[in-house]
Amino acid sequence: MKTLDYAKKGLYVGTGAGIILFALVGLLPGSFVGGFIGLKLSEAIFGAAMAGTVLARVLVAVSMLVGVMVSAVTFIFGAGVMGWAAGTALESLKRAKEVATPATESVRS
Q: What string of DSSP letters covers 18-39?
A: HHHHIIIIIHHHHHHHHHHHHH
pLDDT in tens, 4-55: 788 899 999 999 999 999 999 999 999 999 999 999 998 888 887 666 788 8
Percent of the chain with pLDDT over 90: 60
Residues spanned by the domain of 40: 5-108
* Cα 27 off chain centre by: 12
Q: Mark out the alpha helices in 1-109 (DSSP H runs).
A: 5-21, 27-46, 54-108
Q: Work out how many domains the chain is built from and give that number.
A: 1
Q: What are the distances in angstroms from CA 104 to CA 50, 58, 85, 95, 98?
A: 76, 68, 28, 15, 11
In the predicted structure, residue 103 carries a pLDDT above the cut 60: no
Output 54 or 82, whichever has higher pLDDT. 82
